Amino acid sequence: MQSVRMAPIIDGLLVVLSMLNNVQFVMSHPTHPGNIGAAARAMKNMGLSQLSLINPKQFPCAEATQRASGAQDILANAGVYDSLDQAIAGSRLVVGTSARSRTLPWPMLEPRELAEKIAQEPSTHPVAILFGTENSGLTNSELQLCHYHVAIPANPNYSSLNIASAMQLIAYELRMAALKFEHLETASEAEVDPGELPATAEQMDQMIKHFEQVLESTGYLDPVKPKMLELRLRRLFGKAQVTDSEFRMLRGILASIKKFE
Ligand code: SAH
């Protein structure tokens, strides 16, 4: 008798895909409600559930609901924010997707590398993956909030995908990585020394502002000619993956400089 290959049961509770619950997809200024619906469907197909919308042109909207098909729950639970900072405040890893690299050269990852990196980090780390507005993509100031940039290696002569298609591909890679590393025992955030957790986007923001204040008073920063200081500092601290305790140390150092003046 011919043996029948049994399909593995990969859904349901047999596989713990908790990592997927901690990844937030953020759409910045989406202009077409159909894309929001298609994105929700793409996410739900891959087991993702956290969608955030920054200033959507139209939302809620019948077209979005229709395109979401059976994924209306993702739309119903979507966070709607006025600013990106609010949406990503608690995120410990922020990633920007872009068809092309802009501004200063930035640490880049391929979608698969990103997904495998996330799958191997503590499963409860909040991660935000940012997607730009349909016409112009993420702005330079949005891209500079990110630890990494991810480009889907598409046809170099025609590399810009529809946003929901780009979200589908990233979501697929996340799911594949979650399945590949399902047996890996990643620590939960509660088990990690709190000082060793990566600084959140909100802490990073506070630290950059603090640096700017102090460096302006020491004369290093000329606000008229900032020479991309903010961008360079963000890239530096992002690459260093500053931890919570390092964040506190740097804030303390800055405060001591201020007192010394
Ligand atoms: N013309 C814009 C593209 C906007 S497409 C530009 O050149 O940046 C809308 C969004 O889809 C992008 O901001 C990005 O989030 C995602 N996207 C499209 N193509 C992509 C690619 N090749 N790699 C990664 N993200 C992509």
Cα of 26 vs centre of ligand 1, distance in Å, is 13
Domain 193-258 is found in CATH 1.10.8.590: yes
- Is residue 111 lining ligand 1, measured as CB closer than 6 Å? no
Q: Is the predicted pLDDT of residue 230 greater than 80, yes or no?
A: yes
Mutate to test the pocket of ligand 1, among 43, 52, 98 (most ligand atoms within 8 A of CB): 98
- Is residue 134 lining ligand 1, measured as CB closer than 6 Å? yes
Higher pLDDT, 9 or 34: 34
Model confidence band, residue 240 (pLDDT cutoffs 50, 70, 90): very high
Higher pLDDT, 4 or 222: 222
pLDDT at 189: 64
- Is residue 97 lining ligand 1, measured as CB closer than 6 Å? yes
pLDDT at 1: 45
* Domain assignments of the chain as residue spans, ordered by start: 2-180, 193-258
Tens digits of residue pLDDT in 189-216: 677 888 999 999 999 999 999 999 999 9
Q: For the CA atoms of 78, 180, 149, 53, what is the dihedral angle to 10 degrees?
A: 0
Ligand 1 atom at shortest distance from the alpha carbon of 137: 13
Tens digits of residue pLDDT in 55-69: 999 999 999 999 999
- Between CA 232 and CA 20 the distance in angstroms is 31
pLDDT at 12: 41
Look up the CATH number of domain 2-180. 3.40.1280.10
| Residue with CA closest to ligand 1 atom 22 | 99
**Could you tell me how far CA 192 lies from the centroid of its own chain?**
21
E strand map for the chain:
23-28, 50-54, 79-81, 93-97, 108-109, 127-131, 148-150
Across the range 104-120, mean pLDDT stands at 93
Q: Is the predicted pLDDT of residue 151 greater than 50, yes or no?
A: yes
pLDDT at 103: 63
- Between CA 132 and CA 43 the distance in angstroms is 16
Higher pLDDT, 246 or 100: 246
